């Protein structure tokens, strides 16, 4: 019987220059070597308000590419492993005084794929 892992996230972009933070959640008791194929579950509509369509495509293609590098084969339907993507964007602004004259403002964005 095929097992559905929901939600699962593969930690991606470990060596990229991307400022985003990626968090993964999965069952540590599962032997992933038993899976041969993977599929992507439907894109959550909540994600559309968090990223641009271009970023969405980048994320999905990156997930496919990473899993294929790890030896899995993409299969749209009835895959052994089902991958779900949920995005959380946290934005924070920090202020610091520069020469006690004008504030230096920096906006940091953190993207979490869950």
Domain of residue 43, residue span: 32-113
Task: Report d(CA 103, CA 94) in Å as an integer.
Answer: 10
Q: Is 111 helix (H, G, I), strand (E, B) or coil?
A: strand
Q: Look at the chain and report how many structural domains it folds into.
A: 1
Which of 56, 42, 41, 40 lies closest to 89 in space, CA to CA?
56
Whose tokens are 């794929």? That residue is 113
52 token code pair = 């641009």
100 domain residue, yes or no: yes
Helix (H) or strand (E) holding 82: strand 81-83
Structure tokens at 69: 């590098």
Q: What span, in angstroms and rounded, lies between the C-alpha atoms of 114 and 106?
A: 26
Beta bridge partners of 93: 107
Q: Which residue has the tokens 């005084």?
A: 97
Structural domain contains residue 80: yes
Condensed to tens digits (0 to 9), the pLDDT of residues 51-76 reads 788 888 888 888 899 889 999 999 99
Is residue 13 assigned to a domain? Answer: no
Q: What is the model's pLDDT at position 16?
A: 38
pTM here is: 0.57
What mean pLDDT comes out for the span 29-51? 81
């Amino acid at each position: 019987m095929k097992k559905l892992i929901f939600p699962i996230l593969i930690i991606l972009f470990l060596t990229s220059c991307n400022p985003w933070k990626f968090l993964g959640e999965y069952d540590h008791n599962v032997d992933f070597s038993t899976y041969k194929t993977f599929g992507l579950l439907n894109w959550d509509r909540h994600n559309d308000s968090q990223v641009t369509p271009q970023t969405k495509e980048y994320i999905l293609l990156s997930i496919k590419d990473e899993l294929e590098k790890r030896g899995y084969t993409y299969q749209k339907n009835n895959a052994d492993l089902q991958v779900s993507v949920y995005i959380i964007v946290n934005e924070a602004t920090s202020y610091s005084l520069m020469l006690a004259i004008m504030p230096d403002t920096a906006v940091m964005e953190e993207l979490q794929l869950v």
